[in-house]
């Protein structure tokens, strides 16, 4: 697997796993795509919950609250959709990798406080959304077979692009 | 005057109203949005499936955006009453 170094990016592994050219035989199935997308959202919620616990910066806290609310709404939609389609989300190397990387980043962030925490959290949010959006665009959306899943992923990409812009603006105020 | 929010866009993105008119945003998305004046003069919450309003009380061209998804932008031209 091709690894791409992006400092502090929890999702580096997803990028590496999904930016390789997609061949019909090894493209992720809808069940795997659903699991990757759900996991990516869930991990961002966990990062935001840590920020709400640790940060005292009003703008950072507002951003984190937005992340919890939006990703929860998207994941609720995703759960309702997989239920309707009778698809069982399937754990896979990409989603496992995401969890592992994110766990390491969370541990790193947990040791920081004050402005150091705020900057690291927001920088990571920029990088994380960039990576996940890249994966959605290059692999997950084109690989999705079901039209409703594809459409939800496309809406997700628009939402997460908004998050990335928000995070970038916030990062510029913290540096 | 009503502006829809659909698939992360204000529709129509540009409107013309008179002083004293009310603008209502109707959010058809499943996520919450805001309509926030760039000037900071108003910040309207528009929850998923719900609506939010603002009354325009002076002539101006006002640009606004969604705080949560800042790529969403709109413009309101407010004219003085004749």
pLDDT of A26 reads 75
Position A14 in a domain: no
Position A9 in a domain: no
- A70: chain B residues, CB-CB within 8 Å: 31-32, 68
B69 vs A121: CA distance, rounded Å? 18
Check if the beta carbon of residue A154 is closer than 8 Å to that of residue A141: yes
ipTM: 0.89
pLDDT of A166 reads 96
Position A73 in a domain: yes
A69 to B30: CB separation less than 8 angstroms, yes or no: no
Position A10 in a domain: no
Question: How near does any CA of chain B get to the CA of A158, in Å?
Answer: 7
Q: How many CB atoms are located within 10 Å of the residue A72 CB? A: 15
Total domain count, chain A: 1
Residue B42 in tokens: 């108003």
How confident is the prediction for chain A on average, in pLDDT? 88
Position A154 in a domain: yes
| Longest CA pairwise span in chain B (Å) | 40
Q: How confident is the model at residue A23 (pLDDT cuts 50, 70, 90)?
A: low
Residue A13 has pLDDT above 50, yes or no: no
Position A3 in a domain: no
Residues B42-82 have pLDDT tens digits of 999 999 999 999 999 999 999 999 999 999 999 999 999 76
Work out the average pLDDT over B13-39: 98
Residue A151 has pLDDT above 60, yes or no: yes
- B8: chain A residues, CB-CB within 8 Å: 155, 158-159, 162
Residue A17 has pLDDT above 70, yes or no: no
Residue B30 has pLDDT above 70, yes or no: yes
Q: Tell me, yes or no, if B72 comes closer than 8 A to chain A by beta carbon.
A: yes
Can you give the residue ranges of every domain in chain B? 2-79
Work out the average pLDDT over B27-48: 97
CA B6 to chain centre: 13
Q: How confident is the model at residue A175 (pLDDT cuts 50, 70, 90)?
A: confident
Model pTM score: 0.87
Which residues between 10 and 29 in chain B have a beta carbon less than 8 angstroms from any beta carbon of chain A? none
For residue A76, give the CATH number of its domain: 1.20.1260.10
Residues A46-57 have pLDDT tens digits of 999 999 999 999
Residues A58-103 have pLDDT tens digits of 999 999 999 999 999 999 999 999 999 999 999 999 999 999 999 9
Give the range of the structural domain holding residue A148, as residue numbers without chain letter.
28-174
Q: How confident is the model at residue A128 (pLDDT cuts 50, 70, 90)?
A: very high
Residue B1: is it exposed, middle or buried by C-beta count within 10 angstroms (0-12/13-18/19+)?
Answer: middle
Position A70 in a domain: yes
Question: Could you tell me which residues come within 8 angstroms of residue B5 by beta carbon, excluding any fewer than 6 positions away?
Answer: B11, B25, B26, B27, B28, B29, B33, B46, B72
pLDDT of A41 reads 97
Position A99 in a domain: yes
Q: What is the DSSP string of B40-75?
A: SS-EEEE-TT-EEEEE--S-EEEEEE-SSSTT-EEE
pLDDT of A25 reads 54
pLDDT of B71 reads 95
Fold of B2-79: Immunoglobulin-like (2.60.40)
Work out the average pLDDT over A28-33: 95
């Amino acid at each position: 697997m091709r690894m791409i170094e992006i400092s502090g990016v929890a999702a580096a592994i997803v990028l590496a796993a999904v930016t390789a050219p997609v061949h019909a035989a090894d493209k992720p199935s809808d069940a795997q795509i659903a699991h990757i997308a759900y996991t990516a959202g869930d991990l961002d919620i966990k990062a935001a919950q840590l920020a709400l616990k640790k940060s005292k910066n009003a703008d950072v806290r507002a951003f984190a609250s937005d992340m919890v609310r939006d990703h929860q709404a998207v994941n609720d939609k995703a759960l309702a959709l997989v239920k309707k389609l009778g698809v069982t989300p399937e754990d896979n190397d990409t989603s496992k990798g995401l969890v592992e990387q994110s766990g390491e980043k969370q541990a790193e962030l947990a040791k920081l406080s004050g402005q150091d925490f705020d900057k690291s959290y927001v920088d990571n949010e920029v990088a994380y959304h960039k990576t996940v959006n890249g994966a959605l665009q290059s692999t997950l959306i084109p690989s999705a077979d079901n039209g409703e899943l594809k459409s939800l992923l496309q809406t997700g990409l628009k939402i997460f692009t908004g998050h990335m812009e928000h995070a970038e603006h916030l990062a510029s105020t913290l540096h | 005057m009503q502006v829809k929010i659909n698939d992360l866009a204000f529709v129509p993105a540009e409107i013309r109203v008179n002083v004293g008119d009310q603008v209502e945003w109707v959010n058809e998305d499943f996520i919450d949005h805001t309509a926030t004046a760039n000037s900071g003069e108003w910040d309207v919450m528009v929850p998923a499936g719900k609506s939010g309003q603002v009354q325009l009380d002076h002539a101006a061209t006002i640009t606004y955006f969604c705080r949560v998804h800042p790529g969403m932008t709109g413009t309101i031209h407010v004219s003085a009453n004749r």
